[in-house]
Structure 1
Amino acid sequence: MKTTISEVGKHVGETVTIGAWLANKRSSGKIAFLQLRDGTGFIQGVLVKAEAGEETFQKAKELTQESSLYITGVVREDDRAPSGYELTVQGFEVIHEANDYPITPKEHGTEFLMDHRHLWLRSKRQHAIMKIRNEIIRATYEFFNDNGFVKVDPPILTGSSAEGTTNLFHTKYFDEDAFLSQSGQLYMEAAAMALGKVFSFGPTFRAEKSKTRRHLIEFWMIEPEMAFMDHEESLQLQEAYVSFIVQSVLEKCPLELQALERDTSKLENVKAPFPRISYDEAIEFLKEEGYEIEWGEDFGAPHETAIAEKYDKPVFITNYPKDIKAFYMKPHPERDDVVLCADLIAPEGYGEIIGGSQRIDDEELLKQRYDEHNLSQEAYQWYLDLRKYGSVPHSGFGLGLERTVGWISGTEHVRETIPFPRLLNRLYP
């Protein structure tokens, strides 16, 4: 019977055949231990010389790392194995013999591993991170589908900037200038006016020359937008969503978290509601902690980490100064110097994972913002139309997938949280 490693628990005591790769092996004089992987998981195959025969045993000893094979054996329960099972090997058929596989069990430098990213993905650690990434994506769709959202796909090629910045990748769109999208948000606002509650999930691009462990040039964003929803309601949705994906990973990826040696006790506590601190309070706290920062300055990684260390859950920092936030954010009703916004800071030094706000819904105020930010009213007329024809209170946010994967999986650098990272000095492979 043909099966997969993830399904062997259904076949205890039965003889099965699995298509697999040889991740590693070791042998004594009488027993060979084959570490096997098939994409769904990892399992140890135990081949006993006395049972399999001299010829099969010798062939097993000659198997090379990452050779592919069909392997046949009996599924046994084994409490010592991470998955709870192992395979008593009866025989195997080599599909392809791999020679001189470059990533050996020894230590390799980061640049070497990144040059061989197409092969490094096969390792147990990278496999675990990718499975956790997949579960976050799956849980995202479940959460928003169950809460009445419609998936909408904004364009990747745009004629203008969502944030009004210059950190854009420029290209030619026939005889016009175009840019790779740095956010689908403005388009999602239009979709929300048509469909009520919407979300997008897609790639975004930032031409920032940053080398920090939190930054990628190309990354994926989940961007919900909600009509008839104010800032407070949006914060409640954000903490419900983040709680849901964390608990989903805990439930569905225990082997992957174990492989990464993740301290799951820190994740088990991630349940709504989350603590909140205003920007004003954050500035005062940082000054008390000895940081040289003045009101009106944005927070860097050390500041966010210091604030997050006060809490054992993600923390919202609310009501940032208007001058350091995007043009579309709605002013605070009681203060014209701050806006109705929040950043969600992950624990354990992983930084901002969500940025969100209530959006300006007044046509005249948005025109004023265009002038203040030197934005072309012609290029943004369609966005202004959303306030001209049936404007409503509305809010939205964006969650960066890779930073979230990094935090939940306990991975230090975002380059390991996406299959093929695009970094400042890396476009290969």
Structure 2
Amino acid sequence: MKTTISQVHKYVDQTVTIGAWLANKRSSGKIAFLQLRDGSGFIQGVVVKEEVGEEIFQKAKALTQETSLYVTGTVRKDERSPLGFELNVTDVEVIHESVDFPITPKEHGTEFLMDNRHLWLRSRRQHAVMKIRNEIIRATYEFFNENGFVKVDPPILTGSAPEGTTELFHTKYFDEDAYLSQSGQLYMEAAAMALGKVFSFGPTFRAEKSKTRRHLIEFWMIEPEMAFMDHEDNLVVQENYVSHLAQSVLKNCQLELKTLGRDVAKLENIKAPFPRISYDDAIKFLNEKGFDDITWGDDFGAPHETAIAESFDKPVFITHYPAKIKSFYMKPDPTNPEVVLCADLIAPEGYGEIIGGSERIDDYELLAKRCEEHGLTSDAYKWYMELRQYGSVPHSGFGLGLERTVAWLSGVEHVREAIPFPRLLNRLYP
């Protein structure tokens, strides 16, 4: 019976064959222990000389790291194994011998591992992070599908900048200027006017020359947009969504979290509702904590966000930022037009902002004024303005950065481990 490591629990005391790679091995005279992986998981194969004979035993002992093979054996329960099972090997068939695999079971520098990212992905740690990433993606579709959202795919090549910044990758679109998308939000607003509640999931690009552990040049965003939803409605969707992600990872990635040494007690507490603090109160809090470098009107940096987050055991919303430091499309607070109806969701443990969201301006004249103030008067925004001319409604949305969320929930320090092939300031290889 051919199966995979993740499915061996169905075949206890039965003989199975698994296509696998040898992650590592050790032997003690008459027993060889093979650490096997097949993409679905890891299992230990035990080869006993007395049971398999000299030929198979010597073949097993001679196996080199990352050699591909078919392994046949009997599935046994083993409480000592992280998987709960091991394989009593009866036969080994080599498919392709691996020679001098560069990543050995020893310490390697970060740059070396990044140069060999295509091979580093095979390790237990990277396998666990990628499985958690996959679970977050699965749970994302589950949440939005169950809550009446329609998935819409905005373009990656655009003729304008959604955020109105200069951190864009420019290219030529035949005889026109074009940019790699920073965000699908503006297009998602158009989709929400057609379909009510929508979400996108795709790559975005920021030509930001940053080297921090929170930044990537290319990353993936989940961007919901909702018609007839105000600022408060938006916050409720966000906290329910993030709660769903955390609880799904806890439920379905126990082995991966254990592999990573993640403190699951910190994740068990990630349940809605989340605390909220206004920008005004956040500034007062930081000043009281000795942060004299920040005053009203300044944006928060990583140390500021971390200090605020450390006061809570859940993600925290910072709401009502000054309009002058936020995007042109955010709706002013009717009670105080100097601030906008927005929020950043700050993850605990120093992982920073994972969501930015707001209620959008739905009034044509106000949006036209904001566009003019931000120098966004080209015809590229004509279609976006027209959304406010033909049946405009209150609407809100947000964007969640996938890699920051993966890093936070899995507990890895740097977002470069949260994406299969990271694009960093000085890295385009492999």
Residue 161 of structure 1 deviates from its aligned partner by 0.1
Residue of structure 2 equivalent to 1:229: 229
Q: Equivalences for 1:314-325 in 2 at 5 Å?
A: 314-325=315-326
Residue of structure 2 equivalent to 1:331: 332
Residue 336 of structure 1 deviates from its aligned partner by 1.1
Residue of structure 2 equivalent to 1:8: 8
Structure-2 separation of matches of 1:189 and 1:366: 14
AA of the residue aligned to 1:125: R
> Secondary structure of 2:356's match?
strand
Residue of structure 2 equivalent to 1:161: 161
CA contact (8 A) 1:370 1:377 kept: no
Structure-2 separation of matches of 1:370 and 1:377: 9
Query: Structure 1 residue 341 and structure 2 residue 342: aligned?
Result: yes
Residue 363 of structure 1 deviates from its aligned partner by 0.2
What per-residue deviation string (whole Å, max 9, x for no partner) do you get for residues 9-35 of structure 1? Answer: 000000000000000000010100000
What per-residue deviation string (whole Å, max 9, x for no partner) do you get for residues 229-268 of structure 1? Answer: 0000000000000000100000000000000000000000
Residue of structure 2 equivalent to 1:115: 115
Structure-1 separation of matches of 2:379 and 2:99: 60
What per-residue deviation string (whole Å, max 9, x for no partner) do you get for residues 73-123 of structure 1? Answer: 000000000010000000110000000000000100000000000000000
> Secondary structure of 2:380's match?
coil
Structure-2 separation of matches of 1:192 and 1:291: 41
What per-residue deviation string (whole Å, max 9, x for no partner) do you get for residues 157-201 of structure 1? Answer: 000000000000000000000000000000000000000000000
Structure-2 separation of matches of 1:336 and 1:54: 82
AA of the residue aligned to 1:6: S
AA of the residue aligned to 2:204: T
> Secondary structure of 2:93's match?
strand
Structure-1 separation of matches of 2:180 and 2:394: 29
AA of the residue aligned to 1:235: L
Q: Equivalences for 1:394-413 in 2 at 5 Å?
A: 394-413=395-414
AA of the residue aligned to 1:340: L
CA contact (8 A) 2:31 2:49 kept: yes
Query: Structure 1 residue 391 and structure 2 residue 398: aligned?
Result: no
What per-residue deviation string (whole Å, max 9, x for no partner) do you get for residues 361-419 of structure 1? Answer: 00000010011001024210100000000000000000000000000000100000000
Residue of structure 1 equivalent to 2:415: 414
Q: Which runs of 5+ in 1 are unaligned?
A: none
> Which range moved further: 376-385 or 145-154?
376-385
What per-residue deviation string (whole Å, max 9, x for no partner) do you get for residues 107-164 of structure 1? Answer: 0000000000000000000000000000000000000000000000000000000000
Residue of structure 2 equivalent to 1:78: 78
Residue of structure 2 equivalent to 1:299: 300
CA contact (8 A) 2:59 2:92 kept: no
Structure-1 separation of matches of 2:163 and 2:75: 56
User: Identity, % of aligned pairs?
Assistant: 79
CA contact (8 A) 2:76 2:88 kept: yes
TM-score by length of 2: 1.00
Structure-2 separation of matches of 1:125 and 1:55: 34
CA contact (8 A) 2:26 2:34 kept: yes
Q: Equivalences for 1:14-413 in 2 at 5 Å?
A: 14-292=14-292, 293-413=294-414
Residue correspondences, number: 429
Structure-2 separation of matches of 1:83 and 1:98: 26
Over the aligned positions, Cα root-mean-square deviation in angstroms equals: 0.4
Structure-2 separation of matches of 1:377 and 1:54: 78
Structure-1 separation of matches of 2:378 and 2:22: 60
TM-score by length of 1: 1.00
Divergent runs of 4+, >3 A: none
Structure-1 separation of matches of 2:377 and 2:36: 58
Residue 302 of structure 1 deviates from its aligned partner by 0.2
CA contact (8 A) 1:201 1:223 kept: yes
